[in-house]
Structure 1
């Protein structure tokens, strides 16, 4: 009384394998997108760091070229 399995997969099996295949493809796509976004973020961070460092260097050069501010004497309050 053993039932033979048919060589043809069942419709449920076909649907399951299709869902698994689609999930695997979407997962691979999502991983690729996440990797690309991470690369884009790192590139932007490097660009912004370069801009900040250039600005800081320009500010330091400007401060060095300006004369030092002379300290002002504080006036004493006259007793009233």
Structure 2
């Protein structure tokens, strides 16, 4: 399986909790579609203290997984917003 390229896209998006609006990640996202997964190597700034849990309301927003051989967070639908 092909891995995602290391440098990745240039456009960064701010990812926040949908419930409490606390910032979670600053992420280099490619494409125009919905946020389904976040590759760990593309995260620019990580505001979480424990993986996959919102730092504000402690709700889980993702699951850790391997996608195409690279570690990633698989986002649970409706748990995060993206700007």
Q: TM-score, normalised by structure 2?
A: 0.16
Higher relative contact order (CA 8 A, sep 6+): 2
Say which structure is richer in helix. Answer: 1
